[in-house]
Amino acid sequence: MTYRVIGIMSGSSLDGLDIAFIEFNESGGKWAYEILHAACLPYSDEWVQKLASATSLSAYEYLLLHAAYGKYIGERVNEFIGQYALEHRVQLISSHGHTTFHAPELGMTAQLGDGAAIAAATQINVVSDLRALDVAFGGQGAPIVPIGEKLLLPEYDFYLNLGGIANIAYMTEAGYVAYDICPANRVLNMIIEKEGQKFDEGGRLAASGNIDHGLLSRLKAFAYYDKPYPKSLANDFGTTEIFPLIESTKRAPADALRTYVEHIAMQVVSSIQKDTNLPAGPGKLLVTGGGGFNHFLIQRLSQLLSAINIEVVLPDEMLINYKEALVMGLIGVLRWREEYNVISTVTGAKRASIGGAVWIGQEG
């Protein structure tokens, strides 16, 4: 069976809206894919401000933004379809939206981007609200990407995504597990903004800095790192707890970046080593997300992981950039097929679920 789908992702780093047009093929339970076209559409300063400040809005203003952002996504999808001449080729849109509130312990998660507005703007069927049912079943609602890694990329032992938040997935004797490790690109980008840059290209400034070992120890002391999985992070952990701690040291941006790169790398290694059921190796760790282009961070990861016989693998740029949009597309297809699309051993839910709200935008 063949499905031609647009997957959409907005990450916590607020660098833009990722849109990918993918062809999925399923035969006998085996899945294959090809990303035919993809683009990251940068947010205007106005939209960055709107999304970043969404949690401070009144309920009424928040719902207005939810509808407006859904319309915005739909309009960007229409432009994408026009740019690549995809008219009448897209069967389904699967949109993650932009996470704002995330309190799974209270049974709630919220992503901006009204699926109904996307369906109305594009007149294409839409799947949205991908995390809500898992949270309702007692899960973390995150990470949800592992279903795609399991079905589309089975040749690796570990899967690390370095986005606004770093998260990892792997198989243990108890089953497939995944969880958020620590804030990543969002914090690195906030540090480099003091230098008038949006990101530390290649990790060059970080590579020139020195580690503040006192700060490194204080970063390691956050209680989240000692919690067992399943666990997940809200976006504001990085912005309201991690970043203010870094700022309080008044270190030069190069030193702050160098220290935080080391923190990310150490937390990744620690996360792998904590699970005593993991094989000793050799193993392969697939890295995707914008952090895959931070050469210095990848270098530090490779150096630390080589000591425990794990090889860091960087795929082609299309997969590095658009793996999450790719998986959102797959999650939408599975929802359309009424098949499980969230793994309960990953999220801690009482059972696996078929998550996502369906909006019929297509006429007739």
> How many CA atoms within 13 Å lie on the side-chain side of 325?
32
**DSSP codes of every residue in 274-328:** H-TTS--S-EEEEEESGGGG-HHHHHHHHHHHHTTTEEEE---HHHHHHHHHHHH
What pTM, to 2 d.p., does this model score? Answer: 0.83
Model pLDDT, residue 281: 65
Let me know: does 72 contact 47? Beta carbons within 8 Å: yes
Query: Which two structure tokens, joined as six digits, stand for 106?
Result: 């209270």
Instruction: Give me the sheet containing 175-183, strands edge to edge.
Output: 175-183, 165-172, 158-162, 283-288, 310-313
Q: What is the mean pLDDT of each run of 10 residues along the chain (364 residues)?
A: 97 87 97 97 95 96 98 98 97 97 94 98 98 96 90 93 91 82 95 92 97 98 92 89 97 97 97 72 89 97 94 95 95 98 92 97 89
Rounded-to-integer distance, Cα 207 and Cα 85, Å: 43
CA dihedral 332, 35, 123, 92 (to 10 degrees): -30
Rounded-to-integer distance, Cα 228 and Cα 232, Å: 10
Rounded-to-integer distance, Cα 14 and Cα 337, Å: 31
The domain ranges of the chain are: 2-140+324-359, 147-319
Would 2-140+324-359 and 147-319 be classified into the same CATH topology? yes
CATH architecture of 2-140+324-359: 2-Layer Sandwich (3.30)
Q: What does the pLDDT look like over 243-253, one tens digit per residue?
A: 999 999 999 99
Model pLDDT, residue 251: 96
Model pLDDT, residue 276: 56
Domain 147-319 fold: Nucleotidyltransferase; domain 5 (3.30.420)
